[in-house]
Structure 1
Amino acid sequence: MRLIGIFFVIACITISPSYAKPVHDESYYQTHQIQGLSVPEDSLNFLVLGDWGRNGHYQQIPVAEMMDVAMWQLDADFITTTGDNFYSNGVASVDDPYWQSSFEDIYHGPHLFENWYPTLGNHDYRGNWQAQIDYTDVSRRWVFPSSYYAKSFELDGGEKVLMLFIDTNPLNPEYKDVAKYAETQKQDGAKQLAWIEEQLVASTAKWKIVIGHHPLYSSGKRYGKTSEIRGVLEPIFEKHKIDAYFAGHEHDLQHNQPKGTTVQHFVSGAGSELRKVAQRSFTRFAEATAGFASVSVSDNELLVQFISDKNKVLYQYSINKD
C-alpha cells in the first residue's frame, strides 16, 4: 500500500495541470508576429486587458501569450486593466495564492514586465479590494496607488496624454441595494466625481482617455441595461470632450458610438471567459473572441486595435486630430 501511495504522488505531480512556462528567444517573436498589426512611429503604446483573472482557465493563457508578442511588436510602454482582475471573489490578501496562479504565473512573458495600471471591477469588490492596492508594495510592475488615479504622458512631439483610471463601482446606482456589493457604496462617489471633473478641467492634454469597468453602452449581455451608470458619467465625458472610454464587464470586444455622441466607447473584457454579442444600432464592432486592445497615441492620431488570441488583428479604429 505504501508503494502504491508513492506511485500515486508521482503520478499526480506528473499530470499536474500547472502551466509550464515556455522560454522564447528572438526567433519565436519573429515567427509569431501578429497579423495586420499597425506599429505607428513615435507613439505611446499600451495594452488594455479586461475580465481576466481565472487561474489560467478558459482563454486566459493564450491571451497572455499573445499579449507578450504584442508588447514586443509594439515596443509597448505599459498595460492597463478594465477590472475584474480576480474571479470570482477577488483576493483575500496580498498573500493570496491567486496572485501567483492568476497573475504572476500567467503573465510571465519577458515583455509583460512593464508597469500594469489596474482598475477595480465588481468581482474585485467581493474580496479584499484594498489588497489589490497594497500589492503595489509587493510587486514592482503592479502600480495601483489608489482606487482611482491619474497618469500623464508626454509624447515625442510634445503633446500630452491624460489618462484617468476610475472606479465605476461606487458610481454605479445599480449597486445601491445589492448586498454582495455593499462595500462599493462605502466609498465616496461624490468625491470621485468631483475629482474627475477637476482633472479634466485642469488638463491641457491634447488626448484624454478614461479607463473604468462598467460600459456606458453595450452590444452584449447588458444591452439596454447600462443607462444608470451612463447617466452618471456620460454628461462629464461629453462636456469635457474626452476622446475614448475603455471599459470591461462584458466578456467580449466592442466599439460603440451612438448618434449624437462624440466619445468613442470601447469594451475590452475578453481576457478569459467569453459571452455572446450582437449588432446594435450603435455598434461599430462587436465580437465574442478572446483577446485585448492595443492603443497607440501620437501627436495627431489615437489608434485602437483589437487583437485576438489567435495571432490576428480583428479591428482597427483611428481618431485623428490636427
Structure 2
Amino acid sequence: MGIIGEKLDVDFVISTGDNFYDRGLKGTGDSAFEESFSKIYNAPSLQKEWYSEIVEFFFVDTTPFVDKYFIDPEDEVYDWKGILPRRNYLSTLLKELDSSIKDSNAKWKIVVGHHTLKSAGTHGDTQELLHHLLPILEENKVDFYLNGHDHCLQHISSINSPLQYFTSGGGSKAWRGDINWMDPKELKFYYDGQGFMSLQITHSQANFTFFDIFGNILHQWASTKPLLHSAI
C-alpha cells in the first residue's frame, strides 16, 4: 500500500473501520493503536492529509443503525451512553447528513460508513441502512458510498440510480471463501482476499483502482462528469 501510495502521490487516506480487534481501544494510551495502526501504516507516502473543494466526504456513524447490536449483542458489551435515546440520535444524524449534503457545492459527493449498504460478502446487505440511509443518498445524488465491514474488495453498481458502492475491507480476515451471488449487472467486481483501493479524482473524472497486497491491479472503473462552462 505504501509503494502504491508513493507511485500515485496520494493526498489522503480513508479508513473504513475495523482497525482495532477485537474490542477496540481501551483509551488514548492503548498500545494497540501503535501496534495495529501507527506501525502498520508507516510508509512516508501515507503521511498526508490534504483536502480539495472538488470533492466532499461525509462520514456516517453506521453502527447505531444495526438492530442486532442492541437485541443480540453476541456476548459483547457495548457502551451506548453517547447515542441514547437511540431514535433521537439516528433522527438527528440523518437530518444533519441530509442538510450537509444539500448545502455542499462540491462536484463529487462521497459518503463513507463502516457497514455495507449492498454487499455480496459474508455480512451481505445492511437492511437498516437500505431503509434509513439509502433514500437520502439517492435523493441527494450522492456519487459513491464507501464502506468496510465485509473483509473483501468489491464494486457494486446500482441498477436504479447512478450510485456506486465500493467495499474496501481487505486489510485482514480475508480469504473467507464465501460469496452471495448477485445480479452480474450489479456486481462488477468481487475479490475474496486482502488488498486495498485507490481513488484519483479531478473535476471531470473519478478513477477507482483495486489492488492486491502485492500492488497488482485487480479492477479499474471510471466515472466522468461534464465540465461546466460559462460565457460572459
User: Which structure: greater helix fraction?
Assistant: 1
Q: Indicate conservation of the 8 Å contact 1:176/1:185, yes or no.
A: no
Q: Indicate conservation of the 8 Å contact 1:247/1:267, yes or no.
A: yes
Which structure is richer in relative contact order (CA contacts within 8 A, separation 6 or more)?
Answer: 1
Query: How do 1:1-322 residues align onto structure 2 when only pairs under 5 Å count?
Result: 67-115=1-49, 153-154=52-53, 160-179=54-73, 180=76, 182-184=78-80, 186-187=82-83, 188-223=89-124, 225-274=125-174, 275-278=176-179, 279-281=181-183, 282-322=186-226
Question: Deviation at 1:248?
Answer: 0.6
Report Cα offsets for 1:281-301 as digits up to 9, x if no partner.
121111112111100110111
- The one-letter code sitting in structure 2 at the alignment partner of 1:309 is I
Q: Indicate conservation of the 8 Å contact 1:296/1:304, yes or no.
A: yes
Report Cα offsets for 1:183-224 as digits up to 9, x if no partner.
35742222111110111111111100011101111111123x
Over aligned residue pairs, what C-alpha RMSD do you find?
1.8
Q: Indicate conservation of the 8 Å contact 1:83/1:213, yes or no.
A: yes
Question: Deviation at 1:162?
Answer: 1.1
SS in structure 2 opposite 1:111?
Answer: helix
Give the share of equivalent positions with the same residue, in percent: 33
Report Cα offsets for 1:115-160 as digits up to 9, x if no partner.
3xxxxxxxxxxxxxxxxxxxxxxxxxxxxxxxxxxx9622xxxxx2
Report Cα offsets for 1:246-271 as digits up to 9, x if no partner.
01100000111242132100100001
Unmatched 5+ stretches in structure 1? 1-66, 116-150, 155-159
- The one-letter code sitting in structure 1 at the alignment partner of 2:79 is E
Distance in 1 between residues matched to 2:178 and 2:70, nearest whole Å? 27
Question: Deviation at 1:280?
Answer: 1.4
Aligned counterpart, 2:86: none
Question: Deviation at 1:277?
Answer: 4.3
- The one-letter code sitting in structure 2 at the alignment partner of 1:305 is T
SS in structure 2 opposite 1:270?
Answer: coil
Report Cα offsets for 1:90-138 as digits up to 9, x if no partner.
01011111111111222222212223xxxxxxxxxxxxxxxxxxxxxxx
Q: Indicate conservation of the 8 Å contact 1:174/1:228, yes or no.
A: no
- The one-letter code sitting in structure 2 at the alignment partner of 1:314 is L
SS in structure 2 opposite 1:317?
Answer: strand
Distance 1:104 1:252, change over 3 A: same
Larger radius of gyration: 1
Unmatched 5+ stretches in structure 2? 84-88, 227-232
Distance 1:273 1:81, change over 3 A: same
Q: Indicate conservation of the 8 Å contact 2:116/2:167, yes or no.
A: yes
User: TM-score when scaled to structure 1?
Assistant: 0.63
Q: Which runs of 4+ in 1 moved over 6 A?
A: none
Give the length in aligned residue pairs: 215
User: TM-score when scaled to structure 2?
Assistant: 0.86
Distance 1:239 1:181, change over 3 A: farther
SS in structure 1 opposite 2:62?
Answer: coil
Report Cα offsets for 1:59-78 as digits up to 9, x if no partner.
xxxxxxxx111211111111
Q: Indicate conservation of the 8 Å contact 2:10/2:46, yes or no.
A: no
Distance in 2 between residues matched to 1:248 and 1:169, nearest whole Å? 12
